[in-house]
Every structure is written in C-alpha cells, then in structure tokens.
Homo-oligomer: A and B are copies of this chain.
Amino acid sequence: MTKGRVTVIDIAKAAGVSKSTVSLVLQGSSLVNEATRTKVNAVMRELGYVYNRGAANLRQSGSKSKIIGVVVNDLTNGFFAELAVGVDMVVQSAGFVQFLSNTSESPDRQREVIASMREHGISGLILSPARGTEASDLKPIVASGIPVVVAVRNVPGAKVSSIASDNREGVFAAVQHLVSLGHRRIAFLGGFRDTAVFNERLEGYRAAVAACRVEQDDDLIVDAAPSRAGGAEAIGRALSISNKPTAAVCFNDAVAFGVCDGLRAKGIEPGRDFSIVGFDDVIEARTAVPALTTISVDPQGMGRRAAQLLLKQISAGKAEAETIVSSVRLVVRDSCGASGVPVGREQA
C-alpha cells in the first residue's frame, strides 16, 4: 500500500460505488443518497484521500481553478503587506487560495511572475504594479480574458479594473485642515510631475486653495523625488522664495520626513514653527517625532475591496473594467502643532 496517491477510484472500490458517485460526493451534489454520501466520506477519511485540484482543473475548462494571483511591488513595505493581507482575507473565505509574489519593483520579474501564474491557471490577478510597468506588460493576460485588478498605482493605457485611493480628496482635506489652523501660504512639496498620482494630488491642492480662498502661487508647488531626500530638497527650494510658506502638504510621508529634516537643518522646528501634512500614514508616521499628521489610506481595506471586485468579475464571467476610488481620512497628530484642535483626533 501507500504506493501511489489515493485516487477517487480507490475510494470508489473501497466504498463499493463508482468513481462518478465519489465525484458527485466531492462536489457536494444533492443527487447522491445520504447513506452513500456518509459511507464515501468515511472511506475517504480512512484512506487519507486528498483531492487533486490539478486534475479537476484540467477537466473543468480552466476558469475555476480556485487560485488567484497577487503580485506586489514591495512586500517589505508595510503598506503593501497590509494590502496583501486584506486580499487574502476575502480570497480565503471565498474558498480560493492566493498565489503571492513579490517583484521588488522590477518589471522584468513582474513579467516572469505573471507568466508563471498564468501557467498555473490562476483565475484572476490582483496587481500592485512595479514602477515602470507598461500597459503592454498586461496585454497578454488581459487578452486571455483573465480578470485583472490593478491596485494602488494605475497603469496608464491598460484596459483593466483598478482601485486607488482618493488622492484628490485627501490633499483637499489636508489643505483645508491647514487653513483651519490659520495658514494662508501653503506649499505642495515633492513627487514627480509626470506621474498620475502627482497630478491627482496636485489637483486636490489647487481645488482646495481655490475653495478656501488662500494665496495661490505656483512658486509654492515644488516637485522633487518622492523620497526623504527629495523632501529635504523641496523644502529648501520652497523657503528660498521671498514670500515663504508657513505650512506644507507633502506628496507622501517619506517626503514629509525629509521636509522635517530640511527644516531642522535651518533651525526651524517642524510642528511648532512650520506645519506639515503627509500622505499614506506609513507605520513610522505614528512613532516619528513629531508624530506626523497625514492622510491615511487603509491598505487592508483596499486589499479587501480589490479582492471583492476581482471575485465579482470572476463569477460574472467578465465584467467591464471598473474603477474604484478608495476613500481616505485625515489623521491629525502633532506635525501641525495642532494638538488639541477640535478636528477628529486620532482615536487610541
């Protein structure tokens, strides 16, 4: 015994029924008599049967493999890890399993990984694309009819569903908050002008500046690398103009930290002498000094919604490409010197 794996035929023999009946039991069909069902189940347990999904898949025309692929650009980054966990939650409870891979921001690796997943017959893909992903990278998988949901960043020309945070609204709220604290000259710092995310956020800034009737001045908009170093550079340039800003909303939290560095280097204490708002609410935002006021985007929730959308598309055969914007919320901490202001302070 124990020579080969136990198959549905072994079960059938041992239970004195046909393989078809066993298959029916496996699928929980209502066509099978209660007595035989229990009998078959007992035998399966006894022989230590394990279902061979590969074989099943082969027969069923592919689409229902119960595997969904998740490809993430940087799992090391808490943001994306949370995203993956969110996806896993809903995917798992829908009886699917998750194929998760990390691309480390390499489009090449991303291509390989996606190809490999395709070979394994995934029935859907959630992708948080590596920087530099082109629409052509997604072409083959989209063409094959496998539902794809792109999360967080979107891929310019690709005809796929996507879910991203509400960049416009987030920055709008940030500016509004700063205005409510009395600021009139507010800078927008960091980020590359040629990215979609930058433009959405900038648009939010412009809209808020207009809506709040505070000073409008293109010198207050300083682009720079979306990194800590970029932040330091940006604040330097922003403070070199004659009519200086007193507050800034930053492209993301990394930039915000860089801005803090840059301010301190000039003897200006962030949070007390200058107000700063970030974007993303990365883990360090909470523990940094001063704790960073920022726009929180709930990556896990985003993951869950991405998964739900994907599952919907899978079961629907194939729906239209759909775009979800995930709402964000302002988390007030200490970097605006705003301790104690009457604006929904962070709970706990």
Contact = CB atoms under 8 A, between A and B. Distances in A.
A54 B85 contact: no
Contacts of A142: none
Interface stretch (A34-42, A205-213, A280-288, A329-337): A280-288
Interface string A134-178: 000000100110000000000000000000000000000000000
Interface string A74-110: 0110100110110010001000011111101000010
Interface string A51-79: 11111011001100101000000011010
A48 interface: yes
Given A53-B119, A53-B120, A287-B289, A88 B67 contact: no
Contacts of A121: 52-54
A100 B112 CA distance: 17
A98 B97 contact: no
A279 interface: no
A113 interface: yes
Given A100-B98, A287-B284, A119 B51 contact: yes
Contacts of A5: 62
Contact of A81 (B50, B75, B112, B284): B75
A247 interface: no
A171 B344 CA distance: 42
Contact of A116 (B55, B84, B97): B97
Contacts of A84: 75, 100, 102
21 contacts: A48-B143, A50-B118, A51-B119, A53-B119, A54-B120, A54-B121, A67-B120, A75-B81, A76-B78, A78-B78, A78-B283, A81-B81, A85-B102, A92-B109, A92-B112, A97-B117, A98-B99, A284-B284, A284-B287, A287-B289, A289-B289
Q: Which 5 A-B pairs rank lowest in CB-CB distance, beginning with the nearest?
A: A100-B100, A54-B54, A81-B81, A53-B119, A51-B119
